[in-house]
Structure 1
């Protein structure tokens, strides 16, 4: 074993950074002092590394999106599309807050966000690699290794969650080389405060998604509530606004081309350290199959909800999510076609392997074994994709969850499968309850029938061993829905807490189907455990060597994104997507008028258009642009999950909200190209202008601390 195969955390920091690449763990920022100073960031790096100090103490997660506190009374600002579930949950045909927007003038008017709307405040991060990997021996099978790691992680989480008000996790970094325990206060009473009309918050819709120029006001406000003792509590009218320790000052002073920005949030997943074979699988097989599946499902939903506004509203959030994933998937495919990232990685991989082979004590079996494991991973991923297609029905997923919960509940809590412990019960109930807002029997039936037909047409490599004979025929699908009561929320929830025997003997058609296919599903998961355990043995050794190789070249070394708190930086920057075309870094409200057609998705509200035409710029006129800016570009390194991330100026003041990337940037999940990688942000001046001149959200403007430009 080479000395560099086990590296302390400090060694994982870059000796120097280049471009604006990197989604950095806060503790790494002191290593980037020169870079931060170079671009003009005034906040000391040591302060940025401290989660208990401003501005990091104001940055929060919504569990899939990012956000930040903007008042000491728990007021949270995030993207409109991040609050979309809460907006949809409260919308009806009589009160369509999606179309018309919503503004609570008083706290009593604020609406419940629902059980899936949560605010997570990270307050502690600690390296627990040694405790996670204790008891691991070379003689273990892959499954034994995986289960030992899982057992140790569960123990670390249980220890951390002795205070029930915290939610803890132990994610892997550098593909299993390091593990950090992260403690977050989980606030469960979150209410919808303000959302602009959809024609503002989603102006341009899916047509403009990932495109530049953009003219969308992608923002909404939530408020976190706690018990009177200041600690998280279940939703209750007696709760009070959370007193946030810190909050961001909102700056209307604006930015200009070349100005520095800091961006903090919770990026989801990147794959910057994947091998060329993994890139080719994604490019040639996984993404095309995923895109075809999503499009087919969208077509079925569109046909099944046609003519029913109520059904369309119920599936609005589902469709929005699918469309977003579809646009990104197609962007990845186009990006791979535009630039041969696999070929670039081939060169890097060859250089690394040549370097590795020259190191004293290098394990000659490591890379061949890793190649073999990745090939097996690709094969198993095909079957997992097939399983996801064959089980598209929301009722089947609910039934499978209930049966798995019943089986796991018979075990001691520490021995239960991850995701089915006592700590997960509220989340399971929330998922089961969520169907009330996004389920229609006829639509789900149409989706399931069509999915079964698509599954039958998939290549044999995507058929799950033993599953085909257990699935219903398409002709039998209608009877499943007439012979099941799981579509009723109360009935669905009533099965929580029942034992496995009761579910196994139930006459409910979907519960019977879930029981029938459970063995095959469990077998697939066991095979995944075995393979993951073997991957977790080889990949950390590979990553340690890669880090040593990159460090020897002075290149940035940061972990792939994994939904944990990260900081990135950059500058306001134009870009050139192709020869002869340069796209500037700002758009303005006049562009809304130019794009407006009066028809979705370019149907700006009349009151907005009137304010623009009247040049009611107020305090928000940019001195260079001569009007109000809407969105802007920076070179900051972002990905999915960064939606809603605070974009801050050199002093840590809120000047924007991240919400998207340019279409040409989508492949940055795999490869950062400094010339064309651009993130798209809402200019906070447009948000403030709409609040002031269009929606008259004066109560919120007064509540926030807004720094206006000097006259």
Structure 2
């Protein structure tokens, strides 16, 4: 694109003033939002919020797929119950069912290993490395490269930047793109790998309402749990060991039991996963009319298969509890997106915006006459390939097959110099691969996996033939032949999977294991899909930044907010406690209370409240956690904060930066905010920290943790 529309980083950061609570802002952008933060009522200076070494940002951490925060100087971490669900399930058995009964360690010695997949990430450095990634990729040089060559060059530079950052092994570094490839930031995080489960309430509290209430309002869910980060005696991250000591967190959040009221300001900090705010109308229509319907049907079919395969099998139900919960959550979100698209024609909204943008673009001097056509072609190729990638995922719906393919690829990549290996298969990734293979001990049952694979193959056969990757059909077993595969494999044994991590490609080629042979046979199709994806991504990475630069300039001309789509990196949003009106004549929120739990209590799943909790509500034993206006304990509340998946467990703070809640969900009407932020109905759902404290005191007797935290009680 012509230089007249290439914006410097300062303009990419924030253009114009915001007029709503929309925006998932990078911390360094916050000083440019001083007026907005003041308007909302945030008392913390914007410059302090932008500093990762200062309170409160230095207390905000991530766990895999979720957000969390330190709440004591001894590495105590609070997050959502559903974020720690894998750790709870890992330690549960039918006889010692921590899912149903909850778990509380009264002493450090009683804390349980959260498992190799549970990590705590502490972000301590973020730097703009756009120039080092993108050098030489503009102008004629960039256009001369194929998409694949461009993508591979960018990935080579990113791997070099990561290697340079990870010379100290206590850090894990990444270089994600922002504004769909317009900018790249290198992010350094201390990765703590000895994490232990400290306390989780019963799922009768932590998942009250289950999938029926998921994404719904009113909610009455105590979605919280506690973990603890451990390190070596030298204070550095270390492998799990009984000799490790609690991490001394240099900062932590004080907990405020004062609470909030309607209209109060909040700050929310965490690691939102993925949004699509800048996608084009054609991409919305593809998601609405093809991708999401297929995905929703696939989720439901897989859930039905798991349910049938585990019926009457208590051990199997425990093993697949976390998987079922994850799939259910994804399915309801997908259905919510479809309902949201039906309720409001976002494609038509985007059509109008896109037409306005293209007209504006056509009036600008010295712009590329081919950029928009190149953009449309790149997106069309992306959507076509996505259809094939979905079909591939259905055809390979087996944990054993995925393990075999992963380990075979590791063997192939290990034959290359480390710097030349595909990201995800370098030496820095081996421990994660091992952890995933070990994790299967608690989350795999051969009979269930067999049923899922056979059902997946039948669903794949029913998909449109045009979506079948070339050459794949001839390599797949028939659904009827699946039992024979499981009879001729040893990959169900952890020791066998771990042993394969040390085998070379020749050993895989010579193996007589049925799943290893299948993985080797499928490798060519997998590589074809991967190479085509690199070509498509490289072309997108060439044209999307040009498009985004133009969009940012257009939005700047209108004084509209500009922030990057979420990409699992640290972000800050703000808002106010507020009700909403999902339809005419109906207003909901902003608080629910403990009485609502008893009202919903039926004694049947998922509305079974612990008797001790019911008794405490009926006796109105609320103590210092009673809200003076509501006259009871608030359970959940709504705000206008801009959140998405990955924000689960995010700290919700008051104007002084004290913890007042945990983000855990959105209202059903808000799900489409991943694509379009509608200020009238977009609401995030949070756990009121007073309910957490009350349950800890009145129901679970977690006094040891209450003493460990710094809790600021209201003055009555």
TM-score interval (norm. to shorter): over 0.9
Q: Deviations over 1:229-262 (max 9, x none)?
A: 0000000000000000100000000000000000
Matched, 1:300 2:305: yes
Q: What do the CA deviations read for 1:539-590 (whole angstroms, capped 9, x no partner)?
A: 0000000000001111000000000000000000000000010002000000
In the superposition, the TM-score normalised over structure 1's length comes to 1.00
SS of aligned partner of 2:78: strand
Q: Which residue of 2 aligns with 1:182?
A: 187
Name the counterpart of 1:25.
26
| Separation (CA, whole Å) in 2 of partners of 1:218 and 1:488 | 34
Question: Would you say 1:167 and 2:156 are equivalent positions?
Answer: no
| Equivalence for 1:61 | 62
Aligned to 2:374, the other structure's residue is in SS state helix
- 2:197 aligned partner: 192
Counterpart in 2 of 1:71? 72
User: After superposition, what is the alpha-carbon deviation per residue over 1:481-524, rounded to whole angstroms, capped at 9, x for unaligned?
Assistant: 01000001111111102100001110100000000010010011
Once the two structures are TM-superposed, the CA of residue 2 in structure 1 deviates from its matched residue by 2.4
Is 1:668–2:673 an aligned residue pair? yes
Partner of residue 50, structure 1: 51
| SS of residue matched to 1:660 | strand
Partner of 1:8: 8
1:528 aligns to what SS in structure 2? Answer: helix
TM-score, length basis structure 2:
0.99
1:451 aligns with one of 434, 451, 456: 456
Partner of 2:114: 113
Shift of 1:295: 0.3
Q: Secondary structure at the residue paired with 2:325?
A: helix
Match of 1:621 among 612, 615, 626: 626
CA separation in 2, counterparts of 1:14 and 1:244? 35
Q: CA deviation at 1:39?
A: 1.0
Distance 2:496 2:3 in 1: 58
Give, in angstroms, the shift of residue 4 of structure 1. 4.1
Please list the CA deviations of residues 592-622 of structure 1 after superposition, one character each: whole Å capped at 9, or x if unmatched.
0000001110000111111111100011000
> Equivalent residue for 2:549?
544
The number of equivalent residue pairs is 711
Determine helix, strand or coil for the equivalent of 1:286. Answer: helix
Tell me if the contact between 1:168 and 1:183 (Cα under 8 Å) persists in the aligned partners: yes
Tell me if the contact between 2:4 and 2:366 (Cα under 8 Å) persists in the aligned partners: no
Matched, 1:491 2:486: no
Distance in 2 between residues matched to 1:638 and 1:585, nearest whole Å: 17
Aligned residue runs from structure 1 range 482-521, under 5 A: 482-521=487-526
**Cα distance in 1, alignment partners of residues 495 and 112 from structure 2:** 22
Q: Distance in 2 between matches of 1:380 and 1:234?
A: 40
Q: Is the 8 A contact 1:400 1:511 kept in 2?
A: yes
Counterpart CA distance in 1 for 2:636 and 2:595 is 12
Partner of 2:224: 219
Partner of 2:563, secondary structure, is: coil
| SS in structure 1 of the partner of residue 268 of structure 2 | strand
Partner Cα distance (1:343, 1:6) in 2: 28
Please name the residue that 2:397 is paired with: 392
2:259 maps to which residue? 254
Q: 1:367 aligns with which of 347, 368, 372?
A: 372
Residue 198 of structure 1, CA deviation: 0.6
Superposed CA offset, 1:192-240 (max 9, x none) = 0000001000000000000000000000000000000000000000000
CA separation in 1, counterparts of 2:160 and 2:453? 39
Aligned to 1:703: 708
Contact 1:249 1:706 (8 Å CA) reproduced: yes
Report the equivalent of 2:598. 593
Task: Write the distance in 2 (CA, Å) between the matches of 1:475 and 1:358.
Answer: 61
Distance 1:595 1:571 in 2: 27
**Residue of structure 2 aligned with 1:291, choices 284, 296, 310:** 296
| Maintained 8 Å contact 1:264/1:646 | yes
Residues 1:656 and 2:661 are matched in the alignment: yes
Question: Is the contact made by 1:15 and 1:31 (CA closer than 8 Å) also made in structure 2?
Answer: no
Partner of 2:385: 380
The question of 1:686 aligning with 2:691 is answered yes
Unaligned runs of 5+ in 1: none
Structure 1 counterpart SS, 2:484: helix
RMSD (Å) for aligned C-alpha atoms: 0.6
Which residue among 497, 520, 527 is the counterpart of 1:522?
527
Q: Does 1:322 align with 2:323?
A: no
Q: 2: distance between equivalents of 1:14 and 1:633?
A: 28
SS in 1 for 2:521: helix
